[in-house]
Homo-oligomer: A and B are copies of this chain.
Amino acid sequence: MKDIARRAGVSESAVSFALNDRPGVSDITRDRVRRVAEQLGWRPSTAARALSGEGAATVGLVVARPAGTLGVDSFFLQLISGIQEVLAERQLGLLFQVVEDVTAECAVYRRWWAEHRVDGVLVVDPRTDDPRPELLAELGLPGVVTGGVPDPGRPQRPGLSTVWADDAGAMASVVGHLHALGHRRVVHIAGLPGLAHTERRVRTLRAEAERRGLTEVRSVTTDYSDAEGAAVTRRVLGAEAPPTALVYDNDVMAVAGVAAAASLGFAVPADVSVVAWEDSALCRMVHPWLTALSRDTVSFGRTAARELLGLLDDGPAGTVQVPLPRLIERESTAAARTP
């Protein structure tokens, strides 16, 4: 900047004003400064900017999942793609970290904030009894919780937005679909038990079942892995009165489940119907093609990022809902076999 100032024949402050579109310099000077800056290939040093109170121009994302569980579904990379798209518009960086558990995640937030590394964070995989919103509030670190369930009991925290999908509505549509096909015995192979949306799906399933008078409907939680998906499938299909429909909380388990079912002699959908929560290429790679709940994860990421940007601009914290996932009916669901 000193160079620019010298070459343009003005003071450093004038350069700063000119390049940041702040009043205090004439248009002529502004143009001149801009040209010189361009010519010199100048770029502001984020460090210096951050130091003089401008923020770090970076948002953080930390993912807490046990090591093995990460790579299996395409959810995160899709989400990140969406986030990036929005951040790129403002040349904001994304600081990314993978940790083992929520405790470590909290430590990372603390550190990042203390080190002035980020201006805000995106919180994923909200949990029941989640310590993170509390922590962010305490620190004063702006954040967007994505995928959570807004709690009408709790007042909106300032600086903490929520982006959520209506898992309850989606589950209702799945149950509706299966019920209409005549299924009465349904098992829901859910994801990690601590996650808020797992909880919500489980609760909704139970409520919907009761509403319809279905007594043989239940959920089993897993770690989202293909291994557990297959294991649980074998277990429930091996029982006395096996379910006629299975709802899996992700695509990977659904695919593994279909294979497991086949190995026990259960044909899909003739003997058992299968629904995958989360659509992906996988669902069209197996036979039969899987009926799946499809949502636009990339745009989910975009929405979350946009919400965070709003917060960083001192906008109000809010709660935004993304579109209800659509149930794509393919070949893996059919009328229940009449006993």
Contacts and interface: CB of A to CB of B under 8 A. Distances in A.
A316 interface: no
A78 B88 CA distance: 24
A50 B115 CA distance: 11
A11 interface: no
Given A47-B51, A111-B43, A71 B72 contact: no
A44 interface: yes
Query: Most B CB atoms within 10 A — which of A43, A93, A256?
Result: A93
Nearest to A230: B285
Interface string A243-260: 000000000100110010
A44 B51 CA distance: 12
Interface string A238-279: 000000000000001001100100100000000000000000
A114 B43 contact: yes
Interface in A260-306: 262, 280-282, 284-287, 298
Contacts of A111: 43, 91
Contacts of A225: 281
A58 B95 contact: yes
A306 to B, nearest CB: 17
Contacts of A88: 97, 99
B51 A45 contact: yes
A29 interface: no
Given A44-B115, A47-B51, A252-B281, 7 more contacts: A45-B50, A45-B51, A47-B48, A47-B56, A70-B78, A226-B285, A227-B281
Interface of A: 41-51, 56, 58, 67, 70-72, 74, 76-78, 80-81, 84, 88, 91, 93-99, 111, 114-117, 225-227, 252, 255-256, 259, 262, 280-282, 284-287, 298
